[in-house]
Amino acid sequence: MEDKVSLAGSPRAGSFPSSSVPLYENRLSIPFFIRLPTATVGAFITGMALGLSHGSKTAGLRFRAENSHRFPTTSTGWYLYHKSKNYHAMLGGIKEGMKMGLKISFWTGSFFLVEEAVDRLRGTKDFMSTVVAGLSISGGFSAWNRFPLPTAARTSKVGLIGGLSYGLVQDALGLARGRRLGYVDFLLGRRYDSTNVNEVHS
């Protein structure tokens, strides 16, 4: 038991500082090295499902439009027509699903990386880091797609609202599980001694 305590307090304890802190000190009570891949994979699956549905429908309509001038006249011809249509729809759905899945997982992973980076730079975890991440990703998304200024402003507004909402939800859950929040302590007039937490991080 003494060896474990001394190891946790030692500067050499592990390569991942977040693995040494209590779970409630992590966002959503989930360590970052678990939260990041989980969110990225979930985003990829969501994007894949959306892209598969949209892509297959679009590919089917495109195939029908391209062959509208040469509809088959026999039962065998109709069989081959629908077989080809289903093949094109499936192929189009897979392509669009992969594209959308990779795109959404990239931006989702970037959001969590920025949020974690801001947390570490500030030395605290609260909604402000999430707001910065939301604004950063929305700005990067607008620049990547070369949105005009009005569209970029609307995208930034969505990033601000989304980051603020998600950050406050995380703070509320963390507060309910025992995590101390600096701005809550300030509003309540409490002093927060972070010595123990810093010792665990070091």
Same structural domain, 132 and 99: no
Same structural domain, 172 and 147: yes
Do the domain assignments include residue 33?
Answer: yes
Q: Residues 82, 71: contact at Cβ < 8 Å?
A: no
Same structural domain, 45 and 101: yes
Same structural domain, 128 and 97: no
How many domains does the chain fold into? 2
Q: Is 18 helix (H, G, I), strand (E, B) or coil?
A: helix
Same structural domain, 84 and 140: no
Do the domain assignments include residue 117?
Answer: no
Same structural domain, 137 and 198: yes
The whole domain housing 80 covers 29-106
Same structural domain, 84 and 154: no
Mark which of 51, 72, 106 sits at the end of a domain. Answer: 106
Do the domain assignments include residue 115?
Answer: no
Question: What is the Cα–Cα distance from 70 to 55, expressed in whole angstroms?
Answer: 23
Q: Along the 202 residues of the chain, how does pLDDT read in single tens digits?
A: 444 444 444 444 444 444 566 787 889 889 999 999 999 999 999 999 999 999 999 999 999 999 888 888 899 989 999 999 999 999 999 999 999 999 999 999 999 999 999 999 999 999 999 999 999 999 999 999 999 999 999 999 999 999 999 999 999 998 888 888 888 888 888 765 544 444 444 4
Same structural domain, 73 and 34: yes
State residue 109's pLDDT score: 97
CB burial of 176-198 (b: ≥16 within 10 Å; e: otherwise) equals eeebbbbeeeeeeeeeeeeeebe
Amino acid at 190: R
Same structural domain, 71 and 145: no
Question: What are the C-alpha distances in Å from 118 to residues 101, 123, 125, 126?
Answer: 26, 8, 9, 10
State residue 20's pLDDT score: 63
Same structural domain, 81 and 142: no
CA 39 to chain centre: 5
Question: What is the Cα–Cα distance from 57 to 147, expressed in whole angstroms?
Answer: 27
Can you tell me which residue has the tokens 């038991």? 1
Q: Residues 136, 114: contact at Cβ < 8 Å?
A: yes
Do the domain assignments include residue 176?
Answer: yes
Do the domain assignments include residue 20?
Answer: no
Question: What is the Cα–Cα distance from 187 to 182, expressed in whole angstroms?
Answer: 9
Mark which of 79, 106, 133 sits at the end of a domain. Answer: 106
State residue 178's pLDDT score: 85
Mark which of 54, 77, 106 sits at the end of a domain. Answer: 106
Do the domain assignments include residue 6?
Answer: no
State residue 191's pLDDT score: 66
Q: Tell me the pLDDT tens digit for each residue of 69-100.
A: 888 889 998 999 999 999 999 999 999 999 99
State residue 198's pLDDT score: 46
Do the domain assignments include residue 86?
Answer: yes
Same structural domain, 93 and 145: no
Same structural domain, 172 and 145: yes
